[in-house]
Structure 1
Amino acid sequence: MLKKILASVGIGKAKVDTILLSDHLTAGESFDVEVVIKGGDVEQELNGIELAVMAQAKAEAEVGDDEVTYNKSIVLQHWNQALDLTIQPGEVITRQFTLQLHPEVPATQLFGQQISKVWLQTGLDIKMGIDGSDKDSLYISPSATQLAVLDAVSQSGYRLFKVDIEAGKVRGSGFQSQLNCYQEYEFKPESRSFFGAKEIEVTFVDNGQETGVLIEVDRAFIGDGYKSVSIPNHCTSIDSVMPYIKRILD
C-alpha cells in the first residue's frame, strides 16, 4: 500500500523516455519517435501518452506602469495516443509513432548554430498518479526557400544580427500565421545612410505550398514600415527568390 501511495505522488512511478529516430528535421516534415515506458515499483494503469512540440518564446506584459519582456513555454502542437493498459513493476513497453511538424514550426539551427529552443515533451497519462515526463530537443533547419531568402537578404547588404521567437501571430498580404508564435530574423545593414534602414526583421509564414515573407523595416526618423510577398516553395535558390526580395527591399 505504501508503494502505491508513493507512486501516486511521483515516487517510484513509471518513467518514460522518448527516442528521436530522425536526427535533423525541417518544418512540415514527418518524423518518427520511439517511446519507451519502464514500470516503477508498483503496477499502474496507463491511460495514454501525450506528446507536444513546444518552444521558448519572448512575450510582453504590463507590470504597473512598465512593460516587461519575459520568456514563456508555448505549446505548438499536441498529440494524445491512447494506451488503456496496466504496466507491471519493471516491465518495459515501447511504442513507435510518426508525427508531422507544422510548416510554421520555428527553426532551431542555422549553419550549425543554435538559434532557438524547440523541443518534444512526452508525458504519461497515469490513472491516480503524477505523470512521468521526458523532454527532447528538436534540431530543425529552415526550409530551402527560407534559406534562399536569408541568403538573398544577406547579399542585398544586410548582416544577420540575432534570431528570436515571439509570442503572438503575424499577417501579411495574402497570408496569416496559424501558430501562436513566430520567428524573427533581425538584420542590420552593412552600411547606413542618413534615412536608410537601421534594421530589418524577416518573418516567414509557410503554408506548405508557398512561403509568406514579412519584412519590417525600421528607418531613421521615419519609423517602422511593413512589406510582404509570397514565394512558391519550389523557389529554392538565391536567383529564384531574389526578384521577390528586391521587390520588398527596394
Structure 2
Amino acid sequence: MLKQILASVGIGKAKVDTLLVTDKLKAGQPFDIEVVIQGGDVEQQLQGLEFAIMANAKTEAVLGESEVEYNKSVILQSWKQTFSLSIQPGETVTKQFTLDLHPEVPATNLFGHRIGKVWLQTGLDIKSGLDASDKDGLIIDPSETQLAVLQFVSDSGYSLFKSDIEFGRVQAHDFISHLPCYQEYEFKPQSRGLFGARELEVTFVDNGNETGVLIEVDRAFLGDGYRSTAIPNSCKTAESVRPYIEPLLG
C-alpha cells in the first residue's frame, strides 16, 4: 500500500515523518498513521508525540467601520501519545497509531474537487519543548448521507456554487454542533421566479447516528429563512432523503 507523507520535520537532530496508512478518510471513522523517527548524530530522549486535526476556517473581524473576512487555523481534535524513548544516532524507530475523526470534521473532497483545507499537525515532544511539523492536507470525503442530500438538492434545480468552512457553531431545533467550525454548501437556482429562492446554504451536523441538516433559504423580498431536519444515517440515496429534504425546499 502506498503511504502518503503527511508531515516531515526535523527536531533537534532527529527527523520525524508521519505517513497516512488509510487510503480514504471519512468523518466519524478511524484512520491509521505511521510515524518514522530517524535518529540524528546525537542521542536524544523523546517524551512523546502530539497530533491535532486542524482546519482553515473563514471568520470576520471589525476593522474601523467595516468587516474584514480572513482565514484562521483552528484545532478540531487533538491527541497526545506519551512514552519515554532514547533514540541513538542513526537509529530508526517506527510507531503506528489509530486515530478517530470526529463526525463533524469538514469534508475536503467533493467529486474530485478540493473544497476545504483540513490537515493533521504532528509534533515531537522532547525535553527542550514541542516543535510543530509542516502540514499537508487530508483528503476527506463527505458521508453517504451528506452526499445523498447534496445530490437531491442538485436534482431539485440547484447548482453548487461554492463550499466554505466557517468559524463558529450551528444550532437548530433538533441538533447542535460541537466543533469550533462548520461547513457550508452554497447553492444557486438554475432558474428563478420573482419570489423564488436566490440562494440556498446547506450545513450538516453529524452525530454518528443521524445527520442534522440546516438550510438557509434566501428569497427576494422575503429575506432569509432557516429550516432544519435530522436524517438517520441509514439514508444513503437521494430518494431515501427526499421525505426529509423536499419539505425544506418548498
Q: TM-score, normalised by structure 1?
A: 0.93
User: Cα deviations across residues 20-61 of structure 1 (Å, max 9, x unaligned)?
Assistant: 001211110101100111122322221110011111110111
Q: Which residue of 2 aligns with 1:248?
A: 248
Q: Within 2, Cα distance between the matches of 1:193 and 1:237?
A: 29
Is the 1:18–1:136 contact (alpha carbons within 8 Å) kept by the matching residues of 2?
A: no
**Structure 2: distance between partners of 1:33 and 1:11:** 19
Q: CA deviation at 1:15?
A: 1.8
Shift of 1:89: 2.2
* Distance (Å, rounded) in 2 between the aligned partners of 1:170 and 1:189: 24
How much identity, in percent, do the aligned residues show? Answer: 68
Distance 1:13 1:67 in 2: 45
Aligned amino acid, residue 86 of structure 1: S
Gaps of 5+ in 1: 1-9
C-alpha separation in 2, matches of 1:68 and 1:101:
31
Matched, 1:84 2:84: yes
Aligned to 1:182: 182
**Secondary structure at the residue paired with 1:172?**
coil
Partner secondary structure for residue 246 of structure 1: helix
After the TM superposition, which of the residue ranges 63-72 and 37-46 deviates more from structure 2? 37-46
CA contact (8 A) 1:18 1:134 kept: no
Contact 2:45 2:86 in 1 (8 A): yes
Q: What is residue 67 of structure 1 aligned with on the other side? A: 67
Distance of 1:123 and 1:110 partners within structure 2: 29
Alignment match, 2:140:
140
Report the aligned-residue RMSD: 1.4
- The total of aligned residue pairs comes to 241
Q: CA deviation at 1:136?
A: 3.2
Q: CA deviation at 1:11?
A: 7.4
Pair 215,11 (structure 1): closer, same or farther in 2 beyond 3 Å: closer
Give the deviation of 1:126 after TM superposition: 1.1
What residue ranges of structure 2 are gaps of 5+ in the alignment?
A: 1-9
* Structure 2 length-normalised TM: 0.93
Name the residue aligned to 2:207: 207
Q: Indicate the SS of the match to 1:136.
A: coil
